[in-house]
Structures are given as structure tokens and as C-alpha cells.
């Protein structure tokens, strides 16, 4: 299994970064890169550092780390929505030309990023509206320009960087941490300020894609209020449905709304000022915010290595934990729920992101007990065979095939196992680890898995499944 997982990571390595999947996701994805680094730490730490550097070279001047950094060598046809959609450079707003990736650059001059990073951005610093929309161009001056999307994903990179460092804490790794630290801090700062739309200390996501759990039922209500950009979708061709079955992916209706939200953000220059007045989708996700907290704790450790003050990071982690505990926990369901900032309502669906606050060590003991009960109940139960599904098994609309609406995902389960260990629930954590390893042993390194049969779904050679398998194999129970 070890060799199989390492081979997938090697095959998905492009020379500067790892793609999630050659067939389905041929660019670099933000939170994938964080999980991938955790696995690369065991087999190729130099690639782990390069991967993280690649991503952060594309960081925007305002601190945001884009959810996709596009590979200029990949054509527009190989992934939708590609760079011309995000930059707004598709001719007349129509379908992108195959050469869009090559022509969509040149939006502006160099801007100085956080920590002295130089990014050839397009002036999308916080608060500046750029008529040309987003799609920051990355780079340190060397190599081709890499355009990006303008939205983010959960900040798991500090956790990844810390894992890579602690597996081999030599001078080269310390140097990498010195380079990354100010950039990771800027990423956190962006989320803590520009994205605190609700004003309570939690970051709001502006698109379901920012959660990483794209079509989770957690967004259904908020999404229903968004107009569907049916005409826009019609002008493009979805690529995902040509690669895997459309029953295993978000629906066209979902996509029409995803495009509508992305266009709204893009056409406002990816500005975050006044989001509450104009943006159609603003939701506080418990998973996203729990991972912000976990990032602060990893930053505290990194700060100690690079000679910075760890105390403010620990304080921020504590503050995020308190906000989550007060604002997103529902005692009637015993778990956390996403809050729609536009309506002030908490979504009632029981989704797996509502269990992720378990990664926070200072979560009140009563909430920890409650999450563990839900996790081990019939809704999410870790049976001897199966890890935790992405949605409540007892829900009427539980769908064992459709992406984040039922199937089992490796990255989420890896985080839940870490959370269980944080709270001393070792027996359950060990069961989860065994179930995850059984799954890949029987089915392969798939993107996601049927929560009943364990059959693999989506991409068959998926990077974070391979990476986190390596980590589980290297980390047996005490
Ligand atoms: C999926 O999301 C992308 C959009 O970002 C897509 O469906 O095209 C999600 O599973 C997300 O969490 C993941 O990071 C990405 C790449 O693996 O794919």
C-alpha cells in the first residue's frame, strides 16, 4: 500500500506542484496542497516544501491564497471553470478560447505581497476594485505566469507545514518555515478581517467551493436564494461530467448557482468591502472556522521555530473556539451547523463539517462529548468497516453517490481522527484509522467512496487519499 500511494503522488507531480488528479483536476488546488504535503513529508519532503511554495507564490497581495492556481501548460478545455472565467477574459463573456490561459495575463504590474513576497498581481489588494476582475498572476519572476481563481479554501497549510517540519526538522526545513511563516500569517489575517462579515469573529465563505465540501446539504438553503446563471452555464461545457458519471457530481442547477455567485464576486473585482450589502452567498462554516483555529495552533509551533511570538496565535485559536462554541453549536442536534449571515439562520442539516470543531483542543468538554456521541451514532457511525460519511445516513436525502452529500472522504476522516486523538478518544480514533486503511486496501486510492459498499467513486488515483494513507500507515496506534 505504501508503494502504491507513493507512486500516485509521484505520477501526480508536475515538477513544481502536485495535481489532485490528472484526469479531473489538472491544476493546483489550495487545501489539497496542504493535505498532500502531509503525505509527501514521509516520502519526499523536498517536494512537500516545493508544493507549498508553489501555492504561496500565487498568494494575493491582500493575503488570500487562491483555491486554484492554474497551470499555464493545461488548456482551458481540461478544466471548467478555467482561468479565463476567473479573470473575465473570455471573449464577450462567452466560452473561453482554448488559448485563454495564454492570453489572460497582463492585468497589471508587480505588487509587493506579505512578508516581502513579490507577486505579479493585478491590483486586487483588499478594497481595490479592478475593472478587469481577479485572477491574480503569480510568480517570483521565474517561470511562466500562473493565473488563479479569486476565492479561497480552508487554511490547512500551517498544519501541513508543521507536519513536514516535525518529520524532518533540519536547517533546510527551518528555512522553509521562515519563508512560509509571514505568508501563513497574512492568510490568517485576511480571513480574520476581510471575511469577518458577520462581525462575530468567524470568517464567512463567499462560495460553496470555499468550504471544500462543494455540494454539501449545508449550503442548500443559502444556495436556493441565489439566482441560477442558466444562460452562462449553457455557454460553457462542464468538463467534470465528461470524466465521471454526472450522478456522482453536483447537478447542473448547482453549477448554474456556483457560476452566478462567482460572477458576482468577480465582477465586483473580488472586493470584500460591503460584501454584506451585495454578495448573494455568505455563510459561516464550522469546518472552515475550526481549521482556521487549528492553523493558529500550528502557527504557534512554527513561531517558536522561526523566533516569533507564539502567544498571539494561541490566543486567536482560543477566541475562534469560543466564537464557534457560542455561535454555531446547536444543543438539540448535538453538533455544529453553518450559519447564513444574510438571514441569520443556522442550517439544520447534519453535515460532516459540523463535526470538525473536534480538532480544537479547547472545545468545551460537553460539546466534545456530544460530537463524539453523534460521530459514533447511527447517523455517522464508525462501524468496524466504514469511516464517517459526509452527511447524516438517516437523512431522507442522503445520497451515497453524489459527492459531498453522502460518500466517505479521506481528508475529513483524517481530520476527525486527529480530533479524536486530541481529546483522548483513542479507541474510536484507532477504529477510524483501521476503517480508512481497509477502504483503500480493498478499493484503491479513490477520490471518495460509497458509504455502504466502500466502492471507489470519482478519480481513481487521487492525491490526498494517497498522501493521507501514507500518514496513517506511518502513524500506528500507541
Ligand atoms: C472539488 O472541488 C472542485 C472545485 O474547487 C471541483 O469540483 O471542480 C472539491 O472536492 C474540493 O474540496 C477539492 O479541493 C477539489 C480538488 O480536489 O475538488
The catalytic residues are 214, 447
Helix axes 463-473, 30-43, angle to 10 degrees: 40
Residues with CB under 6 A from ligand 1: 20, 25, 29, 31-32, 67, 209, 212, 214, 240
Mean pLDDT of 362-380: 97
Q: What percent of the chain has pLDDT over 90?
A: 84
- What are the DSSP calls for 88-136, one per residue? T-SGGGSSPPTTHHHHS------EE-GGG-EE---S--TT---TT----
The residues, any chain, with a CB within 8 Å of residue 319's CB and separated by 6 or more, are 201
Residue from 29, 288, 351 whose mutation best tests the ligand 1 pocket (most atoms within 8 A of CB): 29
344 alpha carbon – ligand 1 mean position (Å): 27
The closest-lying atom of ligand 1 relative to the alpha carbon of residue 214 is 9
Mean pLDDT check: name the lowest of 128-137, 300-309, 435-444: 128-137
The closest-lying atom of ligand 1 relative to the alpha carbon of residue 68 is 5
The closest-lying atom of ligand 1 relative to the alpha carbon of residue 463 is 17
Mean pLDDT of 298-314: 98
Q: Which residues pair with 463 in a beta bridge?
A: none
The chain-wide mean pLDDT, for the chain, equals 90
326 alpha carbon – ligand 1 mean position (Å): 30
Q: What percent of the chain has pLDDT over 70?
A: 88
The closest-lying atom of ligand 1 relative to the alpha carbon of residue 447 is 17
227 alpha carbon – ligand 1 mean position (Å): 22
The structure's pTM equals 0.91
The closest-lying atom of ligand 1 relative to the alpha carbon of residue 211 is 12
200 alpha carbon – ligand 1 mean position (Å): 28
Is the alpha carbon torsion for 85, 88, 89, 95 positive or negative? Answer: positive
Ramachandran assignment for 122, one of left (phi > 0), alpha (psi -120 to 50 degrees), beta (any other): alpha
Closest-CA residue, ligand 1 atom 7, reads 214
H helix runs in 119-229, sequence order? 157-167, 171-193, 208-211, 220-224
pLDDT of residue 133: 35
Q: How sure is the predictor about 232, in pLDDT bands with cuts at 50, 70 and 90?
A: confident
423 alpha carbon – ligand 1 mean position (Å): 29
- Could you read off the pLDDT of 84-123 as tens digits, one per residue? 999 987 644 443 333 333 333 333 222 323 333 333 333 3
Residue 328 has pLDDT above 60, yes or no: yes
Burial 68-92 (b: 16+ CB within 10 A, else e): bbbbbebbbebbbbbbbbbbbbbee
Neighbour-count burial of 23, counting CB atoms closer than 10 A to its CB (0-12 exposed, 13-18 middle, 19+ buried): middle
Ramachandran assignment for 406, one of left (phi > 0), alpha (psi -120 to 50 degrees), beta (any other): left
Cβ atoms of residues 449 and 457 within 8 Å: yes
pLDDT of residue 144: 65
Cβ atoms of residues 285 and 205 within 8 Å: yes
**Centroid of chain to Cα 208:** 11
Which residue shows C-alpha cell 448547482?
254
How far apart, in whole angstroms, are the C-alpha atoms of residue 284 and residue 273?
17
Residue from 67, 205, 214, 448 whose mutation best tests the ligand 1 pocket (most atoms within 8 A of CB): 214
Q: In Å, what is the CA distance from 405 to each residue of 20, 22, 218, 220, 369?
A: 20, 24, 9, 11, 25
- Could you read off the pLDDT of 399-439 as tens digits, one per residue? 999 999 999 999 999 999 999 999 999 999 999 999 999 99
Cβ atoms of residues 24 and 243 within 8 Å: yes
Q: What is the DSSP letter of 227?
A: P
C-alpha grid cell, residue 195: 471575511
How far apart, in whole angstroms, are the C-alpha atoms of residue 125 and residue 110?
12
Three-state DSSP class for 60? coil
212 alpha carbon – ligand 1 mean position (Å): 6
Closest-CA residue, ligand 1 atom 4, reads 209
The closest-lying atom of ligand 1 relative to the alpha carbon of residue 67 is 5
Q: In Å, what is the CA distance from 203 to each residue of 19, 120, 272, 319, 379?
A: 27, 27, 12, 12, 28
pLDDT of residue 99: 31
C-alpha grid cell, residue 78: 481540461
C-alpha grid cell, residue 446: 479513490
pLDDT of residue 187: 98
Which residue shows C-alpha cell 500506528?
476
pLDDT top residue among 193 and 235:
193
C-alpha grid cell, residue 79: 478544466
Closest-CA residue, ligand 1 atom 10, reads 212
Residue from 25, 148, 153, 458 whose mutation best tests the ligand 1 pocket (most atoms within 8 A of CB): 25
358 alpha carbon – ligand 1 mean position (Å): 23
Mean pLDDT check: name the lowest of 92-101, 148-157, 466-475: 92-101
* Nearest of 279, 235, 248, 272 to residue 399 by alpha carbon: 248
Q: How sure is the predictor about 236, in pLDDT bands with cuts at 50, 70 and 90?
A: confident
pLDDT of residue 385: 76
Cβ atoms < 10 Å from Cβ of 102: 15
457 alpha carbon – ligand 1 mean position (Å): 14
Instruction: Quote the Cα angle for 77-131-57, to 5°.
Output: 60
pLDDT of residue 143: 59
Which residue shows C-alpha cell 513529508?
41
Amino acid at each position: 500500500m505504501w508503494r502504491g500511494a507513493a507512486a500516485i503522488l509521484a505520477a501526480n507531480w508536475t515538477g513544481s506542484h502536485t495535481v489532485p488528479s490528472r484526469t479531473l483536476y489538472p491544476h493546483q488546488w489550495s487545501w489539497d496542497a496542504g493535505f498532500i504535503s502531509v503525505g509527501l513529508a514521509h516520502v519526499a519532503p523536498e517536494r512537500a516544501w516545493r508544493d507549498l511554495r508553489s501555492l504561496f507564490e500565487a498568494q494575493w497581495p491582500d493575503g488570500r491564497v487562491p483555491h486554484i492556481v492554474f497551470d499555464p501548460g493545461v488548456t482551458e478545455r481540461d478544466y471548467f471553470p478555467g482561468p479565463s472565467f476567473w479573470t473575465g477574459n473570455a471573449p464577450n463573456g462567452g466560452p473561453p478560447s482554448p488559448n485563454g490561459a495564454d492570453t489572460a495575463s497582463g492585468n497589471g504590474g508587480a505588487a509587493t505581497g506579505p512578508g516581502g513576497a513579490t507577486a505579479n498581481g493585478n491590483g486586487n489588494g483588499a478594497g481595490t476594485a479592478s475593472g478587469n476582475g481577479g485572477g491574480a498572476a503569480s510568480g517570483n519572476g521565474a517561470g511562466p505566469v500562473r493565473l488563479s481563481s479569486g476565492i479561497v479554501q480552508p487554511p490547512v497549510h500551517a498544519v501541513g507545514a508543521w507536519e513536514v517540519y516535525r518529520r524532518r526538522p533540519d536547517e533546510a526545513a527551518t528555512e522553509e518555515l521562515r519563508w512560509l511563516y509571514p505568508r501563513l500569517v497574512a492568510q490568517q489575517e485576511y480571513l480574520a478581517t476581510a471575511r469577518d462579515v458577520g462581525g462575530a469573529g468567524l470568517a464567512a465563505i463567499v462560495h460553496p467551493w470555499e468550504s471544500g465540501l462543494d455540494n454539501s446539504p449545508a449550503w442548500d438553503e443559502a444556495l436556493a436564494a441565489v439566482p441560477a446563471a442558466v444562460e452562462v452555464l449553457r455557454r460553457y461545457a462542464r468538463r467534470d461530467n465528461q470524466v465521471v458519471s454526472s450522478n456522482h457530481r453536483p447537478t447542473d442547477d448547482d453549477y448554474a448557482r456556483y457560476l452566478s455567485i462567482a460572477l458576482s464576486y468577480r465582477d465586483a473585482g473580488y472586493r470584500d468591502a460591503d460584501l454584506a450589502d451585495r454578495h448573494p452567498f455568505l455563510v459561516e462554516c464550522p469546518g472552515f472556522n475550526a481549521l482556521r483555529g487549528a492553523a493558529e495552533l500550528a502557527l504557534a509551533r512554527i513561531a517558536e521555530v522561526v523566533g516569533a511570538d507564539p502567544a498571539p496565535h494561541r490566543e486567536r485559536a482560543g477566541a475562534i473556539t469560543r466564537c464557534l462554541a457560542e455561535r454555531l453549536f446547536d444543543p438539540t442536534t448535538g453538533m455544529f451547523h453553518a450559519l447564513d449571515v444574510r438571514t441569520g439562520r443556522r442550517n439544520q442539516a447534519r453535515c460532516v463539517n459540523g463535526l470538525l470543531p473536534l480538532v480544537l483542543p479547547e472545545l468545551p468538554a460537553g460539546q466534545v462529548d456530544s460530537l463524539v456521541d453523534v460521530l459514533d451514532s447511527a447517523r455517522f457511525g464508525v462501524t468496524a468497516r466504514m469511516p464517517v460519511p459526509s452527511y447524516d445516513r438517516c437523512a431522507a436525502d442522503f445520497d451515497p453517490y453524489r459527492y459531498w452529500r453522502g460518500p466517505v472522504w479521506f481528508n475529513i476522516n483524517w481530520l476527525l481522527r486527529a480530533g479524536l486523538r486530541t481529546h483522548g478518544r483513542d479507541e474510536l480514533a484507532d477504529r477510524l484509522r483501521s476503517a480508512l486503511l481497509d477502504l483503500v486496501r480493498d478499493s484503491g486510492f479513490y477520490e471518495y467512496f460509497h458509504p455502504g459498499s466502500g466502492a471507489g467513486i470519482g478519480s481513481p488515483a487521487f492525491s490526498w487519499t494517497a498522501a493521507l494513507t501514507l500518514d496513517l500507515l506511518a502513524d500506528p496506534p500507541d
